Structure 1
Amino acid sequence: MSTVGIVLAAGDGSRLGGRAKALLPHRGRPLLHTVISALVEGGCDEIVVVLGAYADDVTAACPPGITPVVNPDWRQGMSTSLRCGVDAAADHDTVALTVVDFPGITAELVSTVLRAHERGTVTLPVFDGRPGHPVVFDHADAVSAAREAVGDEGARSFLTRNKQRVRRLECTSLADAGDIDTVDDLWRLGRPDRDD
């Protein structure tokens, strides 16, 4: 069994003043590195990073061994990035899907969700009752989710349609699930090296 971690990082950060979330400084390095490190240390065999806006800059910041994939249709929403990522992950049995604006992600969270995943299910981490990332799919389910996705919804339609197969896994103690959408979020999430 092999697992690919897919990081969705194509957005333009418009609510953050128009800058790449992947390149925000976090613990002395780009936020992208925090997310990638958690996925690798948590058990992913390969990492695919889906890029759009700022693709050249983010590609240059990717650590060695990472597969960057450019989504030319990123302006049409997260669904297009999901399709690009899944298309690039065809050689793996399992997909761990996350977003780049998740500074609280930890290797422990990733490994816990991967270990809990069972074939034929979708494993969805839950934080204080709210769904989060990384969501773990069998590859075939990831393909179906990507095909069904429209606009900026990601895998939501697939998860709703297949809710009887979604395994909700309580993970509140394993990570701060907050994401970064605005400058105020940088303070709320305690990013120690805010640069603005």
Structure 2
Amino acid sequence: MTVAGIVLAAGGGTRLGGRAKALLPHRGRPLLHTVVAALTAGGCDEITVVAGAYADDVVAACPPGVRTVVNPRWAEGMSTSLRCGVDAATGHEVIALTVVDFPGITAELVRTVLAAHRPGTITLPTFGDRPGHPVVFDRPDAEVAAREAVGDEGARRFLAGHRDRVRRLDCTGLADPGDVDVPGDLALLEGQGVTRGDT
């Protein structure tokens, strides 16, 4: 089983006042590096980063060895970035999908979700009642999810339509699930709420 990690990092960060979330500082480096490091250490064989609004800067900031793809239709919503990422991450049997604004992600979380994944299922980490990332798909399911996605919903439509195959995995304590959407969330980048530092 080979695993492609996909990082959706194409948004305009409008609720943050127009800032690239991927480039926000976190532990002395861009937040994108934290996410890529966790996916790599957690067992992903290749990482694809989908850039968009700040494409030149995000691509330039990517760590060595990371595949990048630019989504020219990023303003139409996350669905277009999902399609770009899945199309670019070829040659792998499993897709681990995450967003870039996840400073609490850890390698332990990624390892746990990948180890729990079984063919024919969609593995969804949860933190209490809250669904999170990375979501793990068999490649055929990722392709259908990308094809069905509309607007800014990502894989939500696919997950809702295949509840019988969604395997919810309690990952409470393996990561802080908080994301960075508005200025008040920037405290997460200062280490608050990050439970494990094995990224």
Q: TM-score scaled to structure 2, two decimals?
A: 0.95
Give the whole-Å Cα distance in 1 for the aligned partners of 2:41 and 2:9: 20
Measured on the aligned residues, the alpha-carbon RMSD in Å equals 1.1
What is the aligned partner in structure 2 of residue 191 from structure 1? 190
Alignment of 1:20-169 (within 5 A): 20-169=20-169
- In structure 2, list runs of 5 or more residues that go unmatched: 192-199
Identity of aligned residues (%): 73
Offset of 1:63 from its aligned partner?
0.6
Offset of 1:146 from its aligned partner?
0.2
Moved over 2 A (4+): none
Which amino acid in structure 1 is aligned with residue 114 of structure 2? L
Is the contact between residue 25 and residue 189 of structure 2 (CA under 8 Å) also seen in structure 1? no
Offset of 1:90 from its aligned partner?
2.0
- In structure 1, list runs of 5 or more residues that go unmatched: none
What is the aligned partner in structure 2 of residue 19 from structure 1? 19
Cα offsets for 1:140-188 (capped at 9, x unmatched): 000000000000000001001000000000001100000000111012x
Which amino acid in structure 2 is aligned with residue 110 of structure 1? V
Is the contact between residue 103 and residue 189 of structure 2 (CA under 8 Å) also seen in structure 1? no
Instruction: Give the total of aligned pairs.
Output: 192
Give the whole-Å Cα distance in 1 for the aligned partners of 2:137 and 2:190: 30
What is the aligned partner in structure 1 of residue 180 from structure 2? 180
Offset of 1:108 from its aligned partner?
0.1
Give the whole-Å Cα distance in 2 for the aligned partners of 1:160 and 1:100: 23
Give the whole-Å Cα distance in 1 for the aligned partners of 2:31 and 2:130: 23
Offset of 1:27 from its aligned partner?
0.3
